[in-house]
Amino acid sequence: MSAPITSRKTAVVTGASSGIGASIAQQLTAAGFEVIAGARRLDKLRAITEPIGARAHQLDVTDVASVEAFAAQIEGAHLLVNNAGLALGLAPAADPNLDHWRTMFETNVMGVLHVTRALLPRLVASGDGHVVNIGSIAGLATYPGGAGYTASKHALRALTETLRQELLGQPVRVTDVAPGLVETEFSIVRFEGDSERAKGVYQGMTPLSANDVADCVVWAATRPSHVNIDRIQVMPRDQAGATQVHRRSTG
């Protein structure tokens, strides 16, 4: 159960127009945070934020100018959830799609770096800041065809752990939330709109939902301020590793 928030805090969530980011924005609002949400698709973002009374601003985490413009609209922040991220394709490392690699690293690693750098002074100034990075079990394991994505998520994990060390003594907590299989737009994006191929990722098993991951974020964010949850690794019961998935026969 989440601890009550005694005074209204401000949370910033990136990649909040759908999936995990949208659920995080919704659940943080319900937990008492004032939420500022960012995403590239402003129309979809507003469809999420308007019903919950959150603020929506356009944000492309890969564009430094966009990040700076986004940050300029935020006076203060207590919580930053770096959720924006993606996977593209399953090409082998010996025959990579270099555009996919660049996009994944620009989004999953550099995007987190850009936003964190822009907002960290506000988090420190709050006296009770918190950075939550949405990683992946792909940051802890590898699998064939996933070199670009797993490399980016390993880099994100290293960034998260280093940030935790560098902020020691500052009033800022740092948390890595590392989910396994979550059924969102993730696989549709990975397979460039091939919904049937995307469905196959979750066939015969029960994946996590976006709300399951959002639960983890809210729980970590609402612990007493002296408590740092370093990492939450969360997977479906049907999954025991990056490639270890129990699938039931569909008949």
Catalytic residue numbers read 149
Q: Apex CA 19: angle with CA 2 and CA 206, to 5°?
A: 85
Closest Cα partner for 134 from 179, 103, 189? Answer: 179
Q: How far is 233 from 215, CA to CA, in rounded Å?
A: 13
Q: What are the start-end ranges of the E strands in the chain?
A: 10-14, 34-39, 55-58, 79-82, 129-134, 172-179, 231-234
